[in-house]
Amino acid sequence: MSLGDLAHDTIAAIATPPGLSALAVVRVAGPRARDIVSALAGNLQLKPRQAHHCRLQEPDSSDILDDAVLTWFKAPDSYSGDDIVEISCHGGFYSADAVLQALLRAGARMALAGEFTQRAFLNGKLDLLQVEAVADIIHGQSRRQHELAEKTLKGDLSKQLRKIKDRLITAASRIELELDFSDQEIEKSGTQDILDLILPAREDLQALSEGYHSGRVIREGLSIALAGRPNAGKSTLLNLLLKEDRAITSQTPGTTRDTIEESFQHRGHLFKIVDTAGLRESEDLIESEGIRRSYAAIEEADLLVLLLDSSSSAEPLFETRLLQRFAKPRLLVFTKTDLPGLADRDSFFRQHFPGEDVYFANLKDPSLRDPLLEALCDTADRHFGLFRDSLGISRLRHREHISRAIDDLLQAENALRSGISGDLVSIDLRSAIHELDALSGETRSEDILNRIFSDFCIGK
């Protein structure tokens, strides 16, 4: 069934999480929302945007459902653009569900996942970028995730893309006007005039595309893989960063047999950290599987933290090969600096790892946690611009549409400079405009919409 087929139903859902709480909110939306709720409230006459205290009960029955506060948001001045009534009742496991079941018996339909926001999109209250921002706010775990989503929900990204699109529409319109009236004397735009519209648009799109990695890391969290030989200090570092004994530490090599994944926040960012098994040749089947998973975790991580035992004088051939194999942002941490070892650690580091970010640490010293976190943040910021205060895209869908639009504009520029017919240039421009429309949802694929709304919870 298509998105619009159910849009005229009156839907209901609990909008707050289940469990023990003082309050719960039940949301009702659709053309009969006011009448259905009023029937449970003794035919109370609701007024827009006013709170009404009442006692809810089954129609034609003395059975009391709950005390509640009702607020009616009259269409189109509501979240979804429909009539919406929000019922604030008691929390817990019974009250809200009892109210919901009574609403369903009175004629409402159970809302699908994300259907309230879906209606907001269909009714023009939100574009697709803003819809995704709503999902990001719901699922966000850090301050920076929330800030990025709030900017998009406010419409900052949509406004920027609209300005770019307006430039391209102007350029395409001028070309098409000249094609339509080629047999008449009209003032024609020169090649440079058209390029002056296209070039800034492409540069703005390029800047958005280049900010994808930063936006994605902010939205999803920065994934960090701790890697190194057995007993290099990976589990000790994990415990230090988490400030808890999450992983078993031992002098016995090979204690960690599988990856351990945890997360923490620092400076408003979410960090997802993976402690991996010690990397070495092993004939033990279980340890070998752990090592295989370790290499997979390193491959998937945004940032590699490679630990080296500074008390060992072993040649770092293994670590050098590892860095060559995984060409990604990384920080080298020389551990066990409290133990006797290399006579000149700095010289050793410069000889074997020139140009690498490095940190020397005694991981048993808890006072080193904050300086080590700052070193991680500095490395991540240098590669991902984590602390750059700018608007960016954060989803692969965004980057794919923008990349295709950039390709279209490059073709249009080359065609203009080569003197190719204007109708071909116009096709490229229209194709770029189509990509921006798909990005904002002005033209939409139902499969993509269904995938986006499936990430929502019931009641949003």
What spatial distance separates the first Cα and last Cα of the chain, rounded to whole Å?
Answer: 20
Question: Which class is domain 3-127?
Answer: alpha beta
- What topology is assigned to 144-211+394-441 in CATH? Four Helix Bundle (Hemerythrin (Met), subunit A) (1.20.120)
Provide the β-strand partners of residue 53. Answer: 69
Instruction: Please say whether the beta carbons of 205 and 406 come within 8 A.
Output: yes
Query: pLDDT digit string (tens) for 107-138?
Result: 999 999 889 999 999 999 999 999 999 999 98
Q: Which residues in the chain land under pLDDT 70?
A: 1-7, 178-190, 246-258, 280-284, 286-287, 313, 341-343, 389-390, 421, 444-449, 451, 454-455, 459
Sequence-distant (6+) residues with CB within 8 A of 347 are: none
> Domain 219-384 in CATH: superfamily?
P-loop containing nucleotide triphosphate hydrolases (3.40.50.300)
The first and second tokens of residue 21, run together, are 């709480």
The pTM of the full predicted model, rounded to 2 decimals, is 0.82
The full set of domain ranges for the chain reads 3-127, 144-211+394-441, 219-384
By DSSP bridging, strand 330-335 and strand 358-360 are parallel
Instruction: Please say whether the beta carbons of 90 and 21 come within 8 A.
Output: no
Given this chain, do its domains 3-127 and 219-384 carry the same CATH topology? no
Q: How far apart are CA 399 and CA 262, in angstroms?
A: 28
Query: pLDDT digit string (tens) for 276-304?
Result: 877 766 656 766 777 788 888 899 999 99
Q: How far apart are CA 311 and CA 376, in angstroms?
A: 22
The predicted pLDDT at position 284 comes to: 66
Q: How far apart are CA 102 and CA 106, in angstroms?
A: 6
Q: How far apart are CA 120 and CA 127, in angstroms?
A: 8
The predicted pLDDT at position 73 comes to: 96
The predicted pLDDT at position 186 comes to: 46
Q: How far is CA 176 from the centre of its chain?
A: 39
Instruction: Please say whether the beta carbons of 375 and 330 come within 8 A.
Output: no
Query: pLDDT digit string (tens) for 196-245?
Result: 999 999 999 999 999 898 899 999 999 999 988 888 888 888 888 888 77
